[in-house]
Amino acid sequence: MSVPGPRGELPGGGGNHKVDDYLNFAAEEYLRTYIAQGGTAVKLVVTRDRDVARHFATGLAGLCTPFADGFLHVSVDAASTRVHLMDQLFCAVARQIDWMTLAGRVLRDAYRQAGFPVAGPGDAGLTVAAVAAYHQVDPTELYRSIRRALESAVLADRSLAHEFRVAMLRLCQALLAHGDVGEADRAAVLGWLRGEKVPAAQLRAVLLHTKIARHNARPMLMSLTRWVRRAGLAGVVLQLDLERIAVSRRPPAEERDGLYYSKAAALDAYELLRQLIDATDELAGLFVAVLLPPELVTDESRGLPAYSALQLRVADEVRDRNRANPYAALVRLDVRLEAVR
């Protein structure tokens, strides 16, 4: 374990939180209550020590695993993903999601709603042939019933973006294994979600005509949060590490590792965060933890002061010199690491 940095409060005042104390607070006051009930929160988490940041990230991921029907945890690092572009952020999140498992949960519920509950766990039991054999009904008639149920549950859901609805319906149909959506179609939909290059002809075959780009990525992210809850999970925990944005000058070519950001790109990243904060009423079951080094809190050139639209949304309006406010949008974590020694 490396030696912690200098003691004392981080810039901005308002006091610091111990890592484990704040994780426990976030679990009780946000994840298990507010977020699980469909709320959304965006927290900017500031620490000057990378060991503290790693401990927080590990602890946050650990909060998601105890719940069988709990949270999906995804992590995006600005060093490997262009976080100032919403489509790149969404695709980075999409690459970490087991889309077929989510589709299977929605399909299982559709079978139940149609009156033909699935016998056991696993995707193999979700095929029309397997369910028809279990209930001793005609597979063709069952397929018609379940397709109508899926179209009613997915295509008719106006809270989801149109392209997202079409994609999710195709994944559910692929699990039916009835022949209308094959392996190539399933792969095309998954590639489209992950931002991979998919031939236009394959996308047209599944009725997807627009790739995920900056103009439609935010509705796709909103749809994802709602789809996760439709699948029976509590929500999504998104960990976003912006430490790389603090690097103002690229190192020599032989020492470079990953992506680096111009000032304009840094401001675009802050604009993306501002959009997430302003969209909390439209998102459902999303907890965003944005890891920031302290220089991005104070740097007037590349930090939050350079983008007042975001700074005004997270600035401390009321400060107590003796107590830290755990509900604040900008949270400072203590540099001490008693909990991990």
Residue ranges per structural domain of the chain: 19-85+216-340, 99-205
In the block, tokens 């095929």 appear at: 127
The rounded distance, in Å, linking the Cα atoms of 276 and 279 is 5
> For 8-57, what is each residue's pLDDT tens digit?
455 544 458 889 999 999 999 999 999 999 999 999 999 988 889 999 99
Fold of the 19-85+216-340 domain: Rossmann fold (3.40.50)
| pLDDT over 80 (residue 7) | no
> For 197-250, what is each residue's pLDDT tens digit?
999 999 999 999 999 999 999 999 999 999 999 999 999 999 999 999 999 888
Q: What is the pLDDT of residue 79?
A: 96
Q: What is the pLDDT of residue 255?
A: 86
